[in-house]
Structure 1
Amino acid sequence: MTFARHDHCDDLDTLPRMPSRVTSGRVETLEDVAFLSGAALAHLHLVLGRDCVPQTLLRDRLALRAAEACVGFSGRPERAGELRDAVHLLRPGDLPGPAGAVCQSWQRAVERPVSIKVLGRALPTLVPGQIAAWLDAGKGAPVTRAAMVLEALVRETPRADVAGLILADAVLAQALCWDRVVPLLARGLKRADLRKQGDDLRLACHRALVSSAVEAVRLAADLARRTAHLKAVAPKLRAKGAGDAVEMLLSRDAVAPSALPLPDRAARRLCDRLVDLGAVRELTGRDTFRLYGV
């Protein structure tokens, strides 16, 4: 489903906080961890339904974090900054490289409602029939289904960690009636967890979802505050096209000035103005080839 936008947040402090029983839980059995992950996912569902949470931006930033985790699983050194560069500084016709391709896969997986076509664009090495089969492979509760798909795909398709994690998150989204993928599993799992099977993998997935859901709720609250400030200062911007530029910044993890619907010089001035107003951040620390984000 698309989350209902009926709860307006006039006071961002009213965003519900994750229950302490989830964040302080110290349990070991599969049943107890499953209870905590269910509580964490239910709370995340509640937070995602608040109209002050910028869902598109949240998914895009979670996609970056998932890509960073997947790149780490493969033993590559790229971190978030390098992944941003790999996808946002590409010239027409350029290829993103292995790490950038992982980041693009996650970005494409979250940008549209879950479907075979969308997942096929995110995972071009899999044919639609394969994707459909994987999505139907799991049975049972949401996390159990996701773990079964992850286990099956990683076991049967060598070097399929990224595809397995994207499809596992897609299965989880479908089971929870979320219309789009919310990247959660990759960030909470360890590399060794991907080789586990059966109950051991289910336990690892439940634990991963507890930690990832807690992190996602914190990120949602932070982005809600930041986007509220950006919207508050937007009327001060007089540049033609500033409104469209702000909308792009409200929906993307990072934006290069050249991607904004303004002339290059005006786009750079607008970004610097927003930094001065405390509404966006410059993400690279460089003097050139800069990227900006909420």
Structure 2
Amino acid sequence: MNFLGDVSISDMRVVPRVPAWARPRSEAQSDADAAYLAGAALISLDYLVREAPAWAGVWRMRLALKSVVAASRLLRRADAETDLRDAHVFRSVGADPGPAGKVLLAWRRLASRSATLDEDVVRSIAELLDLKWDGALAEVLANAQEMYGSQRSAPTIAAELAASAYRARPDAELLAYWLADAVLAQKFHWPVPIPLLAGQILSPVLRTGKLGNRIRPGETGWGRAVFTAYAQAAADACDLGIDLDKRAGRLLEVAPRLRAKGSAQVVKLLLEEDGLPASWSSAKLSARGARRLFERLEELGAVRELSGRPTFRIYGL
């Protein structure tokens, strides 16, 4: 039963899993090994992106959230996933989202729009990241088009663009990660970028040397680190996809049983958004009706409560 008009249980696909041999190992790897792993893992991810599963929206939003949890460490913060989700879900229209909230908005924009390095778009991202736009960043962006047109591999270009942004403006490290994922998506011709590289900021794959210091864009070993990071990020993204595919399958299985007006819209949003507040409402569904609907979906094993609280609850796949 195609109850959403364009989404049904028949739209579910087999989600590829990155094989064990294509996942980064703990021991040191050569540049060639790292490039090979990145290529193999990104092929699986590319297949998944092109399948365009019904749950692609929530998948990208979860990856955006993961990226910002890691990126917040660069802001000398320790924002947890639940804190960031709360701040976003319950933020009033027009309210200041705060430093971490602005970073989340930047990565949500990355994960919800076509891959583009248009200056107006990138300037708006720089503003969210509290960066003053200047000639140095404009030049990085202008050179990005030349990089994109080269025949080098997508991860190579992503690493070089991130390094050029960091060299031009050491305070633009977060923007460097954002630009890397944007140009990677362009090279793969993905309709919407997938948040990947920033999610590995805290991972051992972006640490180097005996002390395990975090490697900065452009430092010695940066290229190999980026290849390894993309291999790990692609594997993590596919693993998340496998989990969401099962959860979305259950949601689409029970959806035809729902009788509440407006339930189809709720199901569609659950496939697109990281989480919805229990107080969500629409012209067809009151906040009280939505609460009952979410509780019913939870009873059916189709959604989870994400906040862990008895009040101000948030539901999602």
* 1:280 partnered with 2:292: no
User: For residues 16 and 9 of structure 1, what CA distance do their matches in structure 2 show?
Assistant: 17
User: For residues 196 and 10 of structure 2, what CA distance do their matches in structure 1 show?
Assistant: 25
Which moved further from structure 2: 15-24 or 30-39? 15-24
Q: Per-residue CA shift, 1:22-67, capped at 9, x if unaligned?
A: 1365561101110110111011111223354621111111111111
Cα 1:145–1:11 change in 2 (3 A) is closer
User: For residues 12 and 195 of structure 2, what CA distance do their matches in structure 1 show?
Assistant: 27
2:158 — aligned with what? 146
1:73 — aligned with what? 74
Cα 1:93–1:49 change in 2 (3 A) is closer
Cα 1:16–1:91 change in 2 (3 A) is closer
Any idea what SS the aligned residue of 1:114 has?
coil
Structure 1 unpaired stretches of 5+: 1-7
* 1:231 partnered with 2:286: no
Percentage of identical aligned residues: 35
User: For residues 233 and 144 of structure 1, what CA distance do their matches in structure 2 show?
Assistant: 44
Structure of higher RCO (CA pairs closer than 8 Å, 6+ residues apart)? 2
1:156 — aligned with what? 168
Which moved further from structure 2: 122-131 or 63-72? 122-131
1:1-294 map, 5 Å = 14-23=14-23, 28-52=29-53, 54-115=55-116, 116=118, 118-124=121-127, 125=131, 126=133, 132-133=141-142, 135-136=144-145, 138=147, 139=150, 140-189=152-201, 190=206, 192-197=213-218, 200-261=221-282, 262-294=285-317
Q: Per-residue CA shift, 1:184-225, capped at 9, x if unaligned?
A: 111224475452426511111011011111111110111111
Any idea what SS the aligned residue of 1:195 has?
coil
Cα 1:217–1:53 change in 2 (3 A) is farther
User: For residues 60 and 243 of structure 2, what CA distance do their matches in structure 1 show?
Assistant: 14
Cα 1:11–1:84 change in 2 (3 A) is closer
User: For residues 246 and 131 of structure 1, what CA distance do their matches in structure 2 show?
Assistant: 42
Root-mean-square deviation (CA, aligned residues, Å) is 2.5
Cα 1:160–1:232 change in 2 (3 A) is same
Any idea what SS the aligned residue of 1:160 has?
helix
Cα 1:51–1:160 change in 2 (3 A) is closer
Deviation of 1:282 after TM superposition, in Å, equals 0.7
Q: TM-score, normalised by structure 1?
A: 0.88
User: For residues 262 and 18 of structure 2, what CA distance do their matches in structure 1 show?
Assistant: 39
Corresponding letter in the other structure for 1:133: A
Any idea what SS the aligned residue of 1:292 has?
strand
Which moved further from structure 2: 150-159 or 97-106? 150-159
User: For residues 252 and 62 of structure 1, what CA distance do their matches in structure 2 show?
Assistant: 11
User: For residues 111 and 241 of structure 2, what CA distance do their matches in structure 1 show?
Assistant: 16
Aligned length in residues: 287
Corresponding letter in the other structure for 2:185: A
Cα 1:158–1:141 change in 2 (3 A) is same
Q: Would the aligned equivalents of 2:82 and 2:307 in 1 still touch at CA under 8 Å?
A: yes
Cα 1:53–1:119 change in 2 (3 A) is farther
Q: Would the aligned equivalents of 2:166 and 2:217 in 1 still touch at CA under 8 Å?
A: no
User: For residues 160 and 57 of structure 1, what CA distance do their matches in structure 2 show?
Assistant: 28
Deviation of 1:272 after TM superposition, in Å, equals 1.2
